């Protein structure tokens, strides 16, 4: 690290020679997409006002991730930004921190109020963050209802099931819940505007996110392609004697090589008995000859994630028993995928897969649901009813701890009018295809 002796020099140099352009993450397509989303919010809230905060600056040296709902409306990764949507006047107000040269010396250039921010975001009213409360006071006085998130942001959904956050759902030694960033803001507004009624902006925005636009579907196809390619390469290089974490390293490197910044959720790489543990994330066992390896892992790219699982033999050849269980799960997945279409629901998909496993005598070893929604979060906002443009997983499994056999097969599908589009099909699934891949012929 740069020592404190050099801080003044570093800051001075940057202050004198700072580049004019400090931000370039929104392209025309994303800018137009976010404008369309804000227009839908204006329609939904009527004469009310919606207030939402972006994530604060990170503590320490962690990668910054914007909250999904804030990014959904703005496309901005800039820390400590705020947004007010005035439904009565159909006006968006964006608030950014003023330029802080010393912070930028350590964290990099940040978008600040000005013409660049207006051009970049397509939001005409860009203010200094210092003006936030003054603008909100004016809007709140003329409007009777305030929409504000009641729930914690989905930022940094980087653990096994993708739903918990680094700030949410934590408890201290006293047993008192730690108040999240969004929860504290909600409390502050209620105390400031005691005469106003409040609605949950989290519910509003996540209902919007359930059905994907064509822009989003293309993002999901791309992250599924990256994830499938990395998983296929990782399966091909697997050998007995390797360690689970080495497969994690191969996956991570392959994702990043193709431009995906990180994983969508912590990779699950279970060999032998670990393949029967649904959210096993230690990934620290040495893989033995004869083991099945279950990899449930996918990338995060441009604020969209995928979710793929494959199970395969470490030595490249299924035993008869492994093949028996595998083929049951594969048939269950085929039936589940066949049941996906607009106008039905996720329970119908689950029952289609469950019938196959139950008929084979393994119903009590299928211990989870078959589907969940995927999008900006790996467990995205959900709906049991399926409509065209929704994106879900199909992932049946059988888990036999006494035999150290765990099999799950998972793909991501886009719901269409007459069926579905499987967007993670770049990884082999049949026994013959997997064995050919591992033998070097796939």
Q: What pLDDT was estimated at residue 7?
A: 37
- CA dist., res. 306 & res. 293, Å (int): 20
| pLDDT tens sequence for the chain (442 residues) | 444 433 333 333 333 333 333 334 689 999 999 999 999 999 999 999 999 999 988 877 788 889 999 999 999 999 999 999 999 999 999 999 998 898 888 888 889 999 999 999 999 999 999 999 999 999 888 777 999 998 877 764 433 233 333 333 333 344 444 456 777 888 889 899 988 999 999 999 999 999 999 999 999 999 999 999 999 999 999 999 999 999 999 999 999 999 998 999 999 999 999 999 999 999 999 999 999 999 999 999 999 999 999 999 999 999 999 999 999 999 999 999 999 999 999 999 999 999 999 999 999 999 999 999 999 999 999 999 999 999 999 999 999 999 999 999 999 999 999 999 999 999 999 999 999 999 985 5
Q: What pLDDT was estimated at residue 179?
A: 56
Q: What pLDDT was estimated at residue 415?
A: 98
β-pairing verdict for 304-305 and 299-301: antiparallel
Instruction: Read off the pTM.
Output: 0.89
- CA dist., res. 154 & res. 359, Å (int): 39
Q: What angle do CA 284, 290, 293 make, to 5 degrees?
A: 45
- What residues contact residue 91 under an 8 Å CB cut-off, 6+ apart? 85, 125
β-pairing verdict for 145-148 and 49-53: parallel
Q: Per-residue DSSP letters for 10-78?
A: HHHHHHHH--S-------HHHHHHHHHHHHHHHHHHTT-EEEEEPPPPPSSS------HHHHHHH----
- CA dist., res. 290 & res. 278, Å (int): 20
Choose among 45, 65, 137, 82: nearest CA to 37.
45
Q: What pLDDT was estimated at residue 441?
A: 54
The torsion angles phi and psi of 303, rounded to 5 degrees, stand at 70, 20
> Within a 13 Å sphere around the CA of 79, how many CA atoms are in the beta-carbon half?
17
Q: Which domains does the chain have, with CATH numbers?
A: 4-210 (3.40.350.10), 214-438 (3.90.230.10)
Q: How many residues does the chain have?
A: 442
CB 47, CB 144: distance < 8 Å: yes
- CA dist., res. 27 & res. 19, Å (int): 20
- CA dist., res. 184 & res. 5, Å (int): 38
């Amino acid at each position: 690290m740069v020592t404190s002796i050099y801080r003044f020099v570093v800051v001075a140099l940057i202050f004198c020679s700072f580049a004019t352009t400090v931000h370039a993450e929104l392209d025309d397509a994303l800018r137009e997409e976010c404008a369309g989303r804000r227009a839908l919010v204006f329609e939904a809230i009527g004469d009310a006002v919606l207030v939402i905060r972006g994530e604060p600056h990170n503590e320490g040296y962690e990668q910054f991730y914007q909250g999904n709902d804030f990014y959904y409306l703005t496309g901005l990764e800039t820390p400590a930004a705020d947004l007010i949507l005035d439904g009565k006047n159909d006006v968006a107000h964006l608030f950014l921190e003023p330029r802080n040269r010393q912070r930028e010396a350590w964290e990099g250039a940040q978008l600040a109020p000005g013409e660049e921010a207006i051009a970049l975001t397509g939001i005409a009213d860009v203010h200094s963050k210092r003006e936030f409360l003054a603008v909100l006071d004016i809007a709140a006085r003329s409007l009777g209802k305030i929409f504000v998130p009641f729930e914690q942001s989905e930022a940094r959904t980087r653990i096994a099931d993708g739903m918990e956050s680094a700030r949410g759902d934590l408890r201290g030694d006293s047993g008192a819940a730690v108040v999240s960033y969004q929860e504290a803001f909600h409390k502050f507004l209620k105390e400031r505007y005691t005469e106003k009624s409040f609605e949950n902006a989290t519910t509003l925005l996540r209902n919007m996110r359930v059905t994907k636009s064509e822009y989003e579907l293309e993002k999901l196809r791309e992250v599924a392609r990256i994830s499938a390619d990395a998983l296929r390469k990782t399966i091909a290089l697997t050998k007995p004697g390797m360690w689970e974490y080495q497969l994690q390293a191969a996956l991570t490197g392959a994702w990043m090589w193709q431009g995906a910044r990180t994983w969508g959720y912590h990779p699950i790489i279970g060999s032998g008995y670990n393949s029967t543990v649904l959210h096993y994330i230690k990934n620290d066992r040495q893989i033995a000859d004869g083991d099945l390896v279950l990899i449930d892992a996918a990338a995060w790219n441009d604020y969209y994630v995928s979710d793929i699982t494959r199970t395969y033999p470490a030595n490249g050849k299924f035993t008869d028993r492994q093949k028996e269980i595998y083929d049951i799960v594969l048939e269950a997945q085929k039936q589940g995928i066949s049941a996906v279409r607009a106008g039905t629901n996720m329970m119908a998909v689950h029952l289609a897969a469950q019938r196959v496993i139950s008929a084979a005598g393994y119903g009590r070893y299928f211990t989870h649901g078959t589907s969940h929604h995927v999008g900006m979060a790996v467990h995205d906002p959900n709906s049991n009813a399926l409509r065209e443009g929704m994106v879900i997983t199909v992932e049946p499994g059988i888990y036999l701890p006494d035999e150290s056999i765990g099999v799950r097969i998972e793909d991501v599908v886009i719901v269409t009018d007459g069926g579905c589009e499987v967007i993670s099909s770049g990884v082999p699934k049949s026994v013959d295809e997997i064995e050919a891949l591992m033998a070097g012929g796939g």
